[in-house]
Amino acid sequence: MIRKFLDILYPRFCFVCKKSLQSSQNQYLCFSCWKKMPLIRHSICHRCGMPMGAGIDSCTICPGCRKEKFAFAQARCGGEYTDSLRDMLLSFKFHGVTPLRFPLSALIFWQIRRVPFPQNPDILVPVPMNYSSQVQRGYNQAALLCENLSQRMKIPCFSHLLLKNKKTKPQADLQRSEREKNLVSCFEVKKNYYVKKLQGKIVLLVDDILTTGNTASECSKVLLQNGAKKVYVATVAKTLTLP
């Protein structure tokens, strides 16, 4: 009754198609747009989470991962970085539509439940932003996703455990060969009780998008060097380019 009354006072609209949402529907998307979401529904690469197509064993490793040596063990991605999911992520990341953290973190949670990790994570850690960049934007989108995912998974989140100590060029603007060099020595673990929190822990590193895997791998390397036992990665979306 209260929900219906609020819907009359403050009508809700689908983020994608802008149609009015009924009280029985999700708060952010209508049923039709949820069905069209480019989710990764079939087999995935055992390492980077790349969709591999129906009928392929999820223990298979994609051609890109056979050449790469990532520091993280495995990755899970909710959907493909295209169409409506891409639009949602751009609005969430660059245009201040922070309530989208709820449906976007739900996609991560759905994929982790669909294809579980071999071991349950002990703690969740978001990929950090440089301080000046975060002040300019007003928030770290990975931290917002991580905090909501923490509530869904009932696993503690440490939003300030990992730091980015310098401003780097946007990874999307760089050639593949330049991306790894761009991130060298720019992440560190906060040197206080957080180091103790890492010892022997299985960490789930959370971000919005997985592209080449360089950012996730560099963060994972730092976490492992500071005592983490293993690092898994979870993101909302995966670009369709090979690592």
Written as one letter, the residue type at 208 is: D
* Whole-number pLDDT of residue 10: 47
Q: Is residue 203 part of a domain?
A: yes
Q: 49 in the Ramachandran plot: left (φ > 0), alpha (ψ -120 to 50) or beta?
A: left
Q: Are residue 59 and residue 29 in the same domain, yes or no? A: no
Q: Are residue 152 and residue 182 in the same domain, yes or no? A: yes
Q: Are residue 31 and residue 50 in the same domain, yes or no? A: no
Q: Is residue 205 part of a domain?
A: yes
**C-alpha span between 202 and 231 (Å, rounded):** 6
What is the sign of the dihedral through the CA atoms of 50, 14, 21 and 137? positive
Q: Is residue 243 part of a domain?
A: no
* Whole-number pLDDT of residue 194: 77
Q: Are residue 22 and residue 122 in the same domain, yes or no? A: no
Q: Which of the residues in the chain have pLDDT under 50?
A: 1-10
pTM of the model: 0.90
* Whole-number pLDDT of residue 27: 75
**C-alpha span between 158 and 106 (Å, rounded):** 19
Q: Are residue 16 and residue 44 in the same domain, yes or no? A: no
Q: Is residue 175 part of a domain?
A: yes
| Domains held by the chain: number | 2
Question: Which CATH number characterizes residue 105's domain?
Answer: 3.40.50.2020
Q: Are residue 24 and residue 66 in the same domain, yes or no? A: no
Q: Are residue 30 and residue 45 in the same domain, yes or no? A: no
What element of type H or E holds 162?
strand 162-164
With CA atoms as reference, report the closest residue to 48 among 215, 217, 228, 213: 213
**C-alpha span between 96 and 230 (Å, rounded):** 33
**C-alpha span between 232 and 186 (Å, rounded):** 20
Strand 43-44 to 51-53 pairing? antiparallel
* Whole-number pLDDT of residue 187: 95
Q: Which domain holds residue 27?
A: 1-36
Q: Is residue 217 part of a domain?
A: yes
Strand 123-126 to 74-80 pairing? unpaired
Q: Are residue 13 and residue 85 in the same domain, yes or no? A: no
Q: Are residue 96 and residue 210 in the same domain, yes or no? A: yes
Q: Are residue 4 and residue 90 in the same domain, yes or no? A: no
- 79 and 44 Cβ atoms separated by less than 8 Å: no
Query: pLDDT tens for residues 107-132?
Result: 999 999 999 999 999 999 999 999 99
